[in-house]
Structure 1
Amino acid sequence: MASMIDTSDVAASAVLGTVPMRRRTLLIIGDDEDCVSRNLLHAMALEFPGLRVSISSELEAAYQRFDPQLALILVDVALREDLREHAPAILRSQPGASLALFFSDERAVVDWPDVLGTPFVRSVLPMNLRLDVWLAAMRLILIGGDYLPFALLGAFASRAAGGAVLERSAPPPAPMLGPRPGFRDLTLREQQILELVARGRQNKLIAAALDLSEHTVKIHLHNIIRKLGVHNRTEAARLYLDGLAARPAARGGEGARPEPPLMP
């Protein structure tokens, strides 16, 4: 269920360039309705009167009918894999809308080239920009422009050239050699998180170990559970341990059950 925030009654200038802004809707899809601060919502109300903001935790919200017309769908970068599946149908149902990604913590992103290659997405908007810069970037996107932060492009170029990876160094995960195909679909970060889940770590401890936010850990766990086709983290951990048991042990003979590797 999406919540609606109508900014049309705010008395302020509504000029994008030299063209008054018509009434439109911005849909923000994140982990929960707190993905955007109240201060930022108030700033948008002052900057863009007539812009109605709808916030949802489900991509399916983008299929709804919106009045005024949906102009932009801003999606949490952690949901980009689900967005790949939904994007064509969403844009068919919302022909006047464009797609952009937002993120609060760049360290939560495993693969920037993958993010930049997300189909139909033309802009990536950090949420930690200075307020006036953020509003200017949003204004650009709303009038049809594209926005990519220079720091993101620099990190992409560095990685493409074989330079340092954007993320802080993290220990490699245990090999996923179990028979279940879903293991092969897990990203490096998802494998690391699943290893810690299998060791009984709670989200707060996982976040601290990998220098992530708890919000980001929750998003990764959602993706892990979906990819493995299980119902919860306990089932995912059991599959992980079964996968370790299925591979030949390096020591102790064939079929010995190895202990999950320890992370520093």
Structure 2
Amino acid sequence: MSSYLHKPAIAVIEWRTFFRDCITRSIAAASGLEVSGFPQVKDWIDHCDLDKTSIVLLCLGDGRQEHRLKDSIGFIFSLSIPPPVILISDEEDSGYIVDTIEQGARGYFPAQMSLDLAIEAIRLVRAGGTFVPAGSLISAQHKMENSRSDLRYSSADLFTDRQIAVIESLRRGKTNKLIAYELDMSESTVKVHIHNIMKKLDVNNRTQVAFLATEMLGKHGRFLKPATR
């Protein structure tokens, strides 16, 4: 690889120039590490010595770039030796936390976190650890508990028979291909069902669907009937 390419210890991916410069300079000054900023993952790929990048800080912003986040993480983890990825988000949303850690990210920084704590967390991740603020985990747990409570009363009427069949397959860890084969539908139809299920449950991934499904089932393995309130 050409010698002119940047060799940052930390790469900051942030499409907003002002925020990118602030994050890059703050972390460099506080950590003493070499830090470079890039507007997109592609720019980092094109202009960096990837072997010298010890961490990628991927900034989500205000949550409206969720699709870009998923594409970016997928692209990074398609590399032969991907570096650890830490997500920075303006929104402390439990769905993002679960999604990014499930995909392989090694950290989650809410924008409300202090710079000093962020530097310590970066050092932890560089040493091989994973960092998620305790407050974010508590928020995620409360959201899941509230969802389970609501679903005890509404799960039987919330889904169609086909969606229930898909949910039961998800909680058994089956792939889309296997679900499609067993339920005699196309994989694209399975994906549509899963999308609609996640929307109804207000969750962001298959893992959360499977987690909630256990609470939606009665002791005999059937979905609970709505209770009279």
Q: What TM-score do the two structures reach when normalised by structure 2?
A: 0.50
Partner of 2:125: 141
**Equivalent residue letter for 2:107:** S
Change (3 A) 1:162 1:75: same
- Match for 1:127 among 82, 86, 111? 111
- 1:56 and 2:38 matched: yes
SS at match of 2:107: strand
d(CA) in 2 for partners of 1:27, 1:60: 12
d(CA) in 1 for partners of 2:41, 2:24: 20
d(CA) in 1 for partners of 2:97, 2:28: 29
Identity %: 16
**Equivalent residue letter for 1:159:** K
CA shift, 1:124, in A, is 0.3
d(CA) in 1 for partners of 2:86, 2:66: 10
Partner of 1:93: 79
Per-residue deviation, residues 170-195 of structure 1 (Å, max 9, x unmatched): xxxxxxxxxxx9xx89x98xxxxxxx
Change (3 A) 1:155 1:140: same
Change (3 A) 1:60 1:42: closer
Q: What TM-score do the two structures reach when normalised by structure 1?
A: 0.45
- Across the aligned residues of Structure 1 and Structure 2, the Cα RMSD in angstroms comes to 3.2
Q: Name structure 1 gaps, 5 residues minimum.
A: 1-5, 7-22, 164-180, 189-264
Give aligned pairs, total.
Answer: 142
**Equivalent residue letter for 2:58:** V
- Match for 2:48 among 66, 71, 76? 66
Per-residue deviation, residues 47-92 of structure 1 (Å, max 9, x unmatched): 433x322222223224225237122111123344223234343234
Change (3 A) 1:41 1:122: closer
Does the 8 Å contact 1:102/1:124 carry over to 2? yes
Per-residue deviation, residues 27-48 of structure 1 (Å, max 9, x unmatched): 212231222463x544433443
Q: Name structure 2 gaps, 5 residues minimum.
A: 1-5, 148-191, 200-229
